[in-house]
Amino acid sequence: MTRNAWNCVAILLLVLLVGIPLAQAQAIGLPEVSKQTIECFDCHKKQNPVIYQQWGASKHFRANVGCYECHGAEKSDPDAYLHYNQTIATLVTPKDCSRCHSREVSEFTASHHAKAGRILGSLDNVLADVVEGNKGMRTMGFPEGVSAAAVNGCWQCHGSQVKILPDGKPDPATYPNSGIGRLNPDGSEGSCNACHVRHEFSAAQARHPDTCGKCHLGPDHPQKEIYEESKHGIAFFSKEDEMNMDNNKWIVGEDYWAAPTCATCHMSQTRTQPVTHDIGERISWNNRPIVSVRPEVADAKMGLKGKDMPWQVRRQNMMDVCSACHNKNWVDNFYIQYDALVELYNEKFGKPGKELAALAKPLKPYDAPFSAEIDWVWFELWHHEGRRARHGAAMMAPDYTHWHGTYEIAKNWYTEFIPTLTEMAEKGIHSGDAEKVAAGKALLAKIEEITNTPDHMWSVDKMDPAEKAKRDKARDEFKARYKE
Amino acid sequence: MTRNAWNCVAILLLVLLVGIPLAQAQAIGLPEVSKQTIECFDCHKKQNPVIYQQWGASKHFRANVGCYECHGAEKSDPDAYLHYNQTIATLVTPKDCSRCHSREVSEFTASHHAKAGRILGSLDNVLADVVEGNKGMRTMGFPEGVSAAAVNGCWQCHGSQVKILPDGKPDPATYPNSGIGRLNPDGSEGSCNACHVRHEFSAAQARHPDTCGKCHLGPDHPQKEIYEESKHGIAFFSKEDEMNMDNNKWIVGEDYWAAPTCATCHMSQTRTQPVTHDIGERISWNNRPIVSVRPEVADAKMGLKGKDMPWQVRRQNMMDVCSACHNKNWVDNFYIQYDALVELYNEKFGKPGKELAALAKPLKPYDAPFSAEIDWVWFELWHHEGRRARHGAAMMAPDYTHWHGTYEIAKNWYTEFIPTLTEMAEKGIHSGDAEKVAAGKALLAKIEEITNTPDHMWSVDKMDPAEKAKRDKARDEFKARYKE
Amino acid sequence: MTRNAWNCVAILLLVLLVGIPLAQAQAIGLPEVSKQTIECFDCHKKQNPVIYQQWGASKHFRANVGCYECHGAEKSDPDAYLHYNQTIATLVTPKDCSRCHSREVSEFTASHHAKAGRILGSLDNVLADVVEGNKGMRTMGFPEGVSAAAVNGCWQCHGSQVKILPDGKPDPATYPNSGIGRLNPDGSEGSCNACHVRHEFSAAQARHPDTCGKCHLGPDHPQKEIYEESKHGIAFFSKEDEMNMDNNKWIVGEDYWAAPTCATCHMSQTRTQPVTHDIGERISWNNRPIVSVRPEVADAKMGLKGKDMPWQVRRQNMMDVCSACHNKNWVDNFYIQYDALVELYNEKFGKPGKELAALAKPLKPYDAPFSAEIDWVWFELWHHEGRRARHGAAMMAPDYTHWHGTYEIAKNWYTEFIPTLTEMAEKGIHSGDAEKVAAGKALLAKIEEITNTPDHMWSVDKMDPAEKAKRDKARDEFKARYKE
């Protein structure tokens, strides 16, 4: 939605009068609290005192940016409604925020974060809508129903597509929602208060790892848990007091040296880089898909300008962050270790798994995604376990790399994935249905082929004899030591 | 146990002399430290200095309420024993605490917390006693043995039934124990120090979410983990310093506005409600059972006075808490989202699952609970996964609602529950045993019926064709976008 | 590596001049910052300012122990290299640290921590190298390849065997690595900065439970999670400010009384015991193996001097710690509860499981460890679930004892372990292969035998009728109460 031009004029006037170049005029503030905002206080200070107090603790207070400056709306806005003589909107969108914070919104809008709402049609979306859900939640905006699993689950992180009801208020299935990729009625994507939490909107809060943990945790992307195990997280949580989190300038090595947070490495200013709200500029692997890809590849698919930023540049950006605390040799070696783990996963499990899963498709009793056990088994292998291993290595949390990662991948592969596929292949071969017979044979052949590669042949006792002898000796020595 | 009347007389005298109305005379304190308590110091200050120091940090210190005032006992008390010339008891029970804190104990006694020890005969109890345990732990109080899995597991949260040995001391299988529903020798239920941890007994400690996390975590009720993911927990853990946790008056919106803790919403004073130690007064769903019920229904079954407090009143109580930080529209919409998730679970999984599990019973090889795989599968579906989804939605932690909740429910339902039931049904039908044949047919018919409801028919490729076309289109668009 | 003798001489001189007895002369410090260290600053202060600042916050700063004092090397050291005119080494090993901290290193070297790198040949090692991994990571030190799962997983906690390249720098597969049992080129074992984190090396950091959580978490030894659930952890995390963590003298009951950390109980000074860096001196059960053993037994197998320290002495050591906060009766009873849980696990699951797993071996299709499902099932039963139950009881976290522990053990035993074994036995019996027939019969007989012991016969409806009647009654009463 657009707002009346008064605020912008005020800021512009300030800029002109005080002679500040426009480029630096971001978020300068207003000369006084507006009369409209003072009217808001009349009720909300009493009814919802915490909102008022949190605002009082915010930088917005000092800048005289109050309720109306953000919630005020034009009558023509799709989500405007009359509220005690003022035209306001419930939602404050990135477009609204951009009136003062244009650079931040522009960076954010170019990021994957801003596109998190585009999951319609994804496997995750099928899960929430169909497999876990139903159309039992009926609201004015969803007369044919919507899945409460999507509303309470996916949308809370990914963002809802906000529907505005005839009275100008958001449909209850779509709001409350502060998902980072929220699709707003004004066409903007995202929700700044996903991280800059209402109604203090502080940078300190957004720099705190727990804030990222609202979404980056759980079986499929446990970054918060990974961080907590890492030396980085250990240092942070034991030295939070020394982090100078509230400082305006917050440069690692200048303003704090106790620990890095998620923001330190992925977003915040360094001695040589500016702060960025595009979370991908320092990431050199995209570990989301079945097989890890370089981020510029992912950006190209999404039409983001990051398509022109090769991973080597992004890695240099991150290495610059690392150098505040680690010497070059250490950082170089770390990346050799991390890359090797990504490659191990990709080559041993990701790529062959993808081939096998594709060959199994014609053998499913029903077409629907997640209608056969193999769908779940394969999904967890790459989407949950495979990501955990790669993310664990990226952030140096060995339990996530190994026990929650490669251990679970291997267990799944050898005790679930391959046996389930084999059973499907054999069932197909004995089905009498020519198509299924052919599909079964093709799948079985591929299973045989992959099982007999160096990566997997240990599982059918075909390890290289010299290697086996060496291992047997080590095992005997270990057993002798522990007499188990 | 009852104690000598001296303390109460002292308090009464104080009340009369200073003219304080009795209703306000709770926890007033004594004029000086008793000579008995001073005698306790002689040894315990040296032997267990932390107890002495923690007491020194407590409000009890300022009130001259020392060791003897709580541990002193009458000779006739079942758990009294002579200890260096003083008659004392190890346990301090709610009945003891009620001598000064009568209102708190009376509220607590009416709550589900106080009844947590009543698990004898429950499925959980069978698990710990029989399935996981044995009678290998022999103590004087359990000459025929008791299960160490119950002692170290269940009882530590639910509370033990304390047995007093001939020397007046508690049997070691039943103490140490600070389970919140402990069954005490004096007939009282509960343990105040479950939350008001020894020996400081502070309100600040009881207000801290970690305190609740002693029991409210883990696979079957991860409230602490859920809170940590929620915006509420994020705000708390990053702004704990601003919470004014030690304040006597602790009203959200007046004394703090950084974040709510568990206590804030469920127990503590608000601008309009007094503090309550009955944890159920603001809860509008009981999500413990297989199918969620309203709390007054659960209270009626347990004979609690909460049976007369309808859920609408409780919800109003909670909405009053919410209003400190959120406007009415936000709160109303939140409850629409939450209710929809409870209903989704109840209708799609809870109710039909309950019917199916009942029909499977005659087909189990052995009668004993947990003797067949289906028992475990169904138990985890409702007791673990079903609760996680509902609790996750209740407290707005989307990963718990979805990945730890509805995702796991659906995975269990389609890959474990239905296949296991189907196998049991078919085995029964082919058993030759007339009863089992009938039971198998009945079960299979019900499986068919439920699988062909709108909620489940997607899994046998019977989705409404229009819906399917819409979904296929979205999937193709998504794939095109990500080229997967 | 050894370093030039200058430092030691300086310390010795100081000792002689000031007349401090040598035994107290540990870590005294140097008269001024060395010129070599000042040269290091020239670059590193600019390039890696955090290292410089962390050092500035350390005790090393006040002792004039700078970069060169730790990283300086002799030319003859295997890992020495020339770096801008100075001969230095990347690694600082316990041997280096022992020049000033000899007592600490000597205690540490006698501990299990120092031996954590000796996993070559263990089951865990097979997992990372073969099952999860491959030889895809090629470095100069590993021309035939090494497993990235070991490098990024196991080694990060257990420690790598550091390989030095011709240029004197560590091979990137083996460094960065701060695993606590690292095998260093100078023959020393361990890494002091596993806990005394670079570059502040503080005691406060090492006392913090999160530091231990770098490795002691996850499915197979979740000590950190257990601690967090326990009253100990609850008290710590809510009262961290009162812990006086930075104090030099840090005696529980004298310097702090808010809570104990891992260090408090296992390592730190008490009123009667000195600090120890041998983590095993207060532990009375080793719960690592399939069946719990006393620590002196484990120490004897590893050739550690702890073989002469019986568990009773260690328990007394721990009871001394407990007594700071708990009275004797409480502590005695706690140990009765804990011992009973260890025994329950050992007798009901550990010992019979070990027998069954051994009998199943000849029935595996392939010999290789983890090539059959039974390998995984049994491994998780003892290595993951069995440890969680025992560790949970050791530290009083009931959810870990029960839900993550004995519940999972029992579920695994009755729904995975016994059924998988039974299937293997039956397959063997019907195989026609005489050896397999015999092995199958032997296994089946043992399954029958164990299933009919008092611990397990409930699962085939053979519970003692009197016991069963009692339980049925309790169940009916419970159901009547909850009308389920």
- Please tell me the distance from the alpha carbon of residue C202 to that of residue C108, in angstroms, as a whole number: 17
Which residues neighbour A281 within 8 Å (Cβ) at sequence distance 6 or greater? Answer: A306, A309, A314, A317
Query: Which pLDDT does position A25 carry in this prediction?
Result: 42
Question: Sign of the CA dihedral B265, B271, B275, B281?
Answer: negative
Q: Is C35 exposed, middle or buried (0-12, 13-18, 19+ CB in 10 A)?
A: exposed
What residues contact residue B100 under an 8 Å CB cut-off, 6+ apart?
A: B11, B26, B27, B28, B65
Cβ contact B152–C338 (<8 Å): yes
Interface test with chain C among A225, A337, A343, A455, by most C beta carbons within 10 Å: A337
Q: How many whole angstroms separate alpha carbon C252 and alpha carbon A461?
A: 55
User: Which chain A residue's Cα is nearest to B464?
Assistant: A130
Q: Which DSSP state fits C120? A: T
Instruction: Give chain A positions within 8 Å (CB) of B482.
Output: 289, 298, 301-302
Three-class secondary structure of residue C146 per DSSP: strand
Q: What is the DSSP string of A380-441?
A: IIIIIIIHHHHHHHHTT-HHHHIIIIIHHHHHHIIIIIHHHHHHHHHHHHTS--HHHHHHHH
Side chain identity at C357, as an amino acid letter? A
Q: Do B399 and A139 touch (CB under 8 A)?
A: no
Helix (H) or strand (E) holding A143: strand A142-146
Number of cross-chain residue pairs from A and C with Cβ atoms under 8 Å apart: 203
pTM of the entire predicted model:
0.94
Give the number of residues written for chain C: 484
DSSP letter string, A295-340: HHHHHHHTT-GGGGS-HHHHHHHHHHHHHTTS-HHHHHHHHHHHHH
Listed residue (A2, A227, A218) closest to A93, CA to CA: A2
First vs last Cα of chain C: how many Å apart?
A: 70
C219 to each of B379, C60, C175, C248, how far by Cα in Å?
A: 22, 37, 26, 35
Q: What is the ipTM score, two decimals?
A: 0.93
| Facing residue for C411 by CB, picked from B204, B298, B376 | B376
Nearest alpha-carbon partner for A280 in A259, A302, A260, A258: A302
> What whole-number distance in Å separates Cα of residue B471 and Cα of residue B390?
27
What is the C-alpha separation between B241 and B259, in angstroms, rounded? Answer: 11
C-alpha A403, offset from chain centre = 22
Is the CB of B217 less than 8 angstroms away from the CB of C233? Answer: no
Q: How far is CA B389 from CA A135, A223, B150, B246, C402, in A?
A: 17, 21, 27, 34, 21
Distance CA B439, CA B424 (A): 10
Q: What pLDDT does residue C5 have?
A: 42
Q: With a cut of 50, say whether residue A14 has pLDDT above it.
A: no
SS3 (DSSP) at A189: strand
Nearest Cα residue to A210 out of B212, C210, B228, B218: B228
Backbone φ, ψ for residue B340 (5° rounding): -65, -35
Output the six-digit token pair for A272. Answer: 């040589």
Rounded to the nearest 5 percent, the helix, strand and coil shares of chain C are: 55, 5, 40
Please indicate whether residue A15 or residue B63 has the higher confidence score (pLDDT): B63
- Provide the CB-side half-sphere exposure for C316 (13 A, CA): 6
pLDDT at B358 (0 to 100): 98
Q: What's the burial of C272, exposed, middle or buried (CB within 10 Å: 0-12/13-18/19+)? A: exposed
Q: Which residues of A touch B348 (CB under 8 A)?
A: 133-134, 136
Numbers of helices and strands, H then E, in chain A = 26, 4
Round the CA-based radius of gyration of chain B to a whole number and report it: 27
pLDDT higher than threshold 50 for residue A12? no
Q: Can you list the pairs that C462-467 forms with residues at least 24 positions away whose Cβ atoms lie under 8 Å?
A: C463/B130, C463/B368
Q: Which residue bears the tokens 């100069």?
A: C140
**Residue whose C-alpha is closest to residue C93's, from C210, C180, C223:** C180
Q: Looking at the predicted structure, is the pLDDT value of residue A103 above 50?
A: yes
A233: closest chain C residue by CA: C210
Q: Tokens 């700044």 sit at which residue? A: A192
Cβ-Cβ pairs closer than 8 A, B with C, add up to 202
User: Which residue has tokens 């932390």?
Assistant: B50
State the smallest CA–CA distance between residue C460 and chain A in angstroms: 28
Contact C340 B151 (CB under 8 A): yes
In angstroms, the Cα distances linking C481 to B120, B129, B297, B355, C476 are 11, 20, 12, 21, 8
Residue C12 pLDDT: 46
Distance of CA A435 to the CA centre of its chain: 41
Secondary-structure breakdown of chain A: helix, strand, coil percentages, each rounded to the nearest 5: 55, 5, 40
Residue-wise pLDDT for C292-306, tens only, equals 999 999 999 989 999
With tokens 């890890």, the residue in question is: A292
Write the pLDDT tens digit of every residue in A39-70.
Answer: 999 999 999 999 999 999 999 999 999 999 99
Instruction: Name, in order, each residue with C-beta under 8 angstroms of B152's C-beta and a sequence gap of 6 or more.
Output: C337, C338, C340, C341, C392, C393, C396, C398, C401, C402
Judging contacts by C-beta atoms under 8 Å, the chain C residues touching residue B361 are: none
Searching chain C, which residue's CA lies closest to the CA of residue A393?
A: C152
Query: How crowded is residue C233: how many other Cβ atoms within 10 Å of its Cβ?
Result: 25
Q: How far is B473 from chain C (nearest CA, A)?
A: 38
Q: Which among B133, B370, B373 is the nearest to C344, CB-wise? A: B133
Query: What would the two tokens of residue B412 be?
Result: 């269990």
Chain A nearest C-alpha distance from B198 (Å): 25
Best CA proximity match to B145, nearest among B135, B154, B158? B135
Please, which pLDDT band fits residue A291 given cuts at 50, 70 and 90?
very high
Give the dihedral sign, CA A371/A377/A380/A386.
negative
Q: A62: burial class by Cβ within 10 Å (0-12, 13-18, 19+)? A: exposed
**Using the beta-carbon criterion (under 8 Å), do A333 and C54 form an inter-chain contact?**
no
CB A301 within 8 A of CB B483: yes
Give the gap in angstroms from C-alpha B477 to the nearest C-alpha of chain C. Answer: 35
pLDDT in tens, chain B (484 residues): 444 444 544 444 444 444 444 444 455 789 999 999 999 999 999 999 999 999 999 999 999 999 999 999 999 999 999 999 999 999 999 999 999 999 999 999 999 999 999 887 677 788 999 999 999 999 999 999 999 999 999 999 999 999 999 999 999 999 999 999 999 999 999 999 999 999 999 999 999 999 999 999 999 999 999 999 999 999 999 999 999 999 999 999 999 999 999 999 999 999 999 999 999 999 999 999 999 999 999 999 989 999 999 999 999 999 999 999 999 999 999 999 999 999 999 999 999 999 999 999 999 999 999 999 999 999 999 999 999 999 999 999 999 999 999 999 999 999 999 999 999 999 999 999 999 999 999 999 999 999 999 999 999 999 888 888 888 888 888 777 665 4
Å between C333 CA and nearest CA of chain B: 5
Q: What percent of chain A has pLDDT over 70?
A: 93
Which of A287, A338, A401 has the highest number of chain C CBs within 10 A, making it the mutation to test binding with C? A401
Give how far C373 is from chain B: nearest CA, Å: 18
Nearest neighbour of C136 by CB, restricted to A344, A407, A409: A344
Among candidates B368, B360, B377, which has minimal Cα distance to B441? B360
Contact present, B281 and B314 (Cβ < 8 Å): yes
Point out the residues of chain C with pLDDT beneath 50. Answer: 1-6, 8-25, 484
Gap between the Cα atoms of B318 and B302, Å rounded? 23
Q: What pLDDT is recorded for position B26? A: 53
Half-sphere exposure of residue A260: CA atoms within 13 angstroms, side-chain side: 25
User: B72 with B86: CB under 8 angstroms?
Assistant: yes
Beta-carbon separation of C130 and A458 below 8 A:
yes
User: Which of A327, A330, A341, A416 best probes binding to C when mutated, by most C CB atoms within 10 angstroms?
Assistant: A341
Which tokens sit at B213? Answer: 């996390």
Residue type, B372: A
Å between B330 CA and nearest CA of chain A: 6
Out of A3-12, A279-288, A375-384, least confident range: A3-12
At A4, the pLDDT band (50, 70, 90 cuts) reads very low
Who's near A365: CB < 8 A, 6+ residues apart? A371, A372
- A-chain CB neighbours of C213 within 8 Å are 228-229, 234
Nearest residue of B to residue A205, measured between CA atoms: B238
Q: pLDDT tens for residues A297-320?
A: 999 998 999 999 999 999 999 999
